[in-house]
Amino acid sequence: ARMRRDAKLPVEIHVNGRQNATGSKLLLTGATGFLGSFLLEALLRQTDCEIVAVVRAEDALHARNRVESALQRTGFWCEELRDAFALRVKALPGDIGRPLLGLDLSEWEALSQEVSRVYHCGAEVDYVKPYGALISRCRAETIPAVAVRSSPNGLPIATTGSPTWTCDESPSDTG
């Protein structure tokens, strides 16, 4: 019952199901984590899209270094992947748990105009902590990504966080 209550979107976020964005940029959260680094590797190999990764970091260089280091840990690092990373990945310092993903207003507005899809897999993961201790942080991390989705461009979102919201207008049933 608690998970179902926690899966409801705040009333100020209206997901409308539209997909109006025409850009070929993808927004990825969680790129420095285990799942996110493998997702980034797959996106670099299977798409031609530019990928914007929002990463907790002191500055853009630190963000880029963190993402590159995570990619190297996948075991798939090679010249082809290094070249694709150099050409197509932009790492932005931010915080997915803060309003506007921790970005300034101009960066946020640019993302809402340029990004055609959001891949949200950033979350705090701790197998020792109980659900109640993690949900507020997970919720805080998911809601800004969903807010990008509810922008005027109506961006599609794929998320692995808990609670999980899908591309349709209603939260999925998380049990």
Q: What is the pLDDT of residue 173?
A: 38
Mean pLDDT of the chain: 75
- Per residue, the 3-state secondary structure of 111-143, as one string, reads HHHHEEEEEECCCCCCCCCCHHHHHHHHHHHHH
Q: What is the pLDDT of residue 79?
A: 96
Q: What is the pLDDT of residue 82?
A: 96
pLDDT digits (tens, 9 = 90+) for 109-162: 888 788 888 888 877 777 787 777 766 655 555 555 555 545 544 555 555 544
Q: Could you please report the per-residue DSSP string of 38-105?
A: HHHHHHHHH---EEEEEE--SSHHHHHHHHHHHHHHTT---HHHHHHHHHHEEEEE--TTSGGGG--H
User: How would you label 57-81 residue by residue, b for 16+ Cβ within 10 Å and e otherwise?
Assistant: beeeeebbebbbebbeeeeeeeeeb
Q: What is the pLDDT of residue 61?
A: 98
pLDDT digits (tens, 9 = 90+) for 66-82: 999 999 999 999 999 99
Do 165 and 7 contact (CB within 8 A), yes or no?
A: yes
